[in-house]
Structure 1
Amino acid sequence: MGLDFKQIFTAGMILFAVIDILGSIPIIIDLRKKVGHIQSEKASIVAAILMVVFLFVGEEILKLIGIDVNSFAVAGAFIIFFLAIEMILGIQLYKDDAPETAAIVPLAFPLIAGAGTMTTILSLKSEFETINIIVAIVANVIVVYAVLKSSKKLERIFGNQGITVIRKIFGVILLAIAVKLFATNVTNIL
């Protein structure tokens, strides 16, 4: 019991793969172009709060509203699927009439702390100590904050062509994650 570096590292790496903040760089850059400014601190803090709260009460909230974890994961798969389609085809499905900020939606939720992340947190809860999961969440939020804060620099480094290529590649990866999330959880629903 207590802090365990191995558990923290494993949980952290799993969350890092699911959050996929590096793969979200093209989305972040697009959002910054649409809204002008990304509130990195606000998005990171809200995502961290969502993840920690969900760690403690997520399953109970889902049960309360009559949704099982598998249905929640399938819904998350659809959101990820549509984000991937936008990235691959270069179209815009999500339209906000007058977006003022991209801090909470779609950055904190569903991009960082989305259904895939929430489902993963519930899975980790059955394997790891709660304190270790919290440390892993905080570590990931620090990485997320660093990427959000440096999105302008990353755009300059990669350039427009590089961003387009990365966007397509990660769009396909996101599509694969959506299909896997859907396939894994839809069989449990049926």
Structure 2
Amino acid sequence: MELDLREIFTATMVLFAVIDIVGSIPIIIDLRQKVGHIQSEKASLVAAIMMIAFLFVGETILKLIGIDINSFAVAGSFVLFFLALEMILGIKLYRDEDTGSTSIVPIAFPLIAGAGTMTTILSIRAEFQTINIIIAIILNIILVYGVLKSSAKIERFLTKNGLSVIRKVFGVVLLAIAVKLFAANVKGLFA
């Protein structure tokens, strides 16, 4: 295992685009208005534990089911593709059930560490060193914590139009990542 700043930066940006914490600010603000206080520390810590645990046991679980990492990465590229379409077009393809609690569900899971994030973690594991992915996860969790703590200030600063533009830009980035991930792993399916 070796530290690679390029891998750390790329993995951080990929996870940042998938987690889309900036685009989730309206959801977070809405939840805060419904239930009052959001436990930022608890939500961030649980999401980090879930992501790092999945990084290590996710592949084992896939092997038990009989799925290789290339197949999962290709499937993950489709998930990222549809997440990107949601962000770019402003449509909702995936619907979550609404629950009463807000720190763990729906903030830690599925908002931060949802299906797209878990798929991405295993998909980028096919390309990057584990230590670099862990650092990328930690950097994203620090950012998530900061956003959760100061979501009201961020909302006043960015306005709805600003949030919409940022969401669309990261949607295009995520779309490009999905295409790259598909191209890099589809060959492994036929090897």
What is the TM-score with the length of structure 2 in the denominator?
0.75
Judge conservation of contact 1:72–1:119 (CA < 8 Å) in 2.
yes
Deviations 1:89-141 (A, max 9, x none): 22222223434442211322235x4212233245434xx6x5x7645543442
Judge conservation of contact 2:69–2:122 (CA < 8 Å) in 1.
no
Alignment of structure 1 residues 93-104 onto 2, 5 Å:
93-100=93-100, 101=102, 102-103=106-107, 104=109
Please tell me the residue identity of whatever aligns with 1:15.
A
Who is 1:110 aligned against? 115
Does residue 41 of structure 2 align to residue 41 of structure 1?
yes
Judge conservation of contact 2:12–2:139 (CA < 8 Å) in 1.
no
Question: SS state of the match for residue 70, structure 1?
Answer: helix
Please tell me the residue identity of whatever aligns with 2:110.
V
1: CA distance, partners of 2:163 / 2:178: 21
- Identity, in percent, stands at 50
What residue ranges of structure 1 are gaps of 5+ in the alignment? Answer: none
1: CA distance, partners of 2:61 / 2:185: 19
Alignment of structure 1 residues 135-150 onto 2, 5 Å:
137-150=137-150
2: CA distance, partners of 1:137 / 1:168: 22
* 134 and 22 in structure 1: CA distance in 2 versus 1, 3 angstrom threshold: closer
For these two proteins, the number of residue pairs brought into alignment is 181
- Which sits farther off after the overlay, 36-45 or 149-158? 36-45
Does residue 35 of structure 2 align to residue 18 of structure 1?
no
Does residue 71 of structure 2 align to residue 75 of structure 1?
no
* 43 and 74 in structure 1: CA distance in 2 versus 1, 3 angstrom threshold: farther
Please tell me the residue identity of whatever aligns with 2:24.
I
Deviations 1:8-60 (A, max 9, x none): 75553233122115981443124325544665334422332123223433332
| Structure 1 stretches of at least 4 aligned residues deviating more than 4 Å after TM superposition | 8-11, 36-39, 132-136
- Which sits farther off after the overlay, 39-48 or 179-188? 39-48
* 183 and 152 in structure 1: CA distance in 2 versus 1, 3 angstrom threshold: farther
* 143 and 81 in structure 1: CA distance in 2 versus 1, 3 angstrom threshold: same
* 65 and 136 in structure 1: CA distance in 2 versus 1, 3 angstrom threshold: same
Please tell me the residue identity of whatever aligns with 1:28.
S
Alpha-carbon RMSD across the aligned residues, in angstroms, is: 3.0
Please tell me the residue identity of whatever aligns with 1:56.
F
2: CA distance, partners of 1:30 / 1:94: 17
* 47 and 76 in structure 1: CA distance in 2 versus 1, 3 angstrom threshold: farther
Judge conservation of contact 1:22–1:147 (CA < 8 Å) in 2.
no
What is the TM-score with the length of structure 1 in the denominator?
0.75
1: CA distance, partners of 2:6 / 2:181: 20
Judge conservation of contact 1:44–1:141 (CA < 8 Å) in 2.
yes
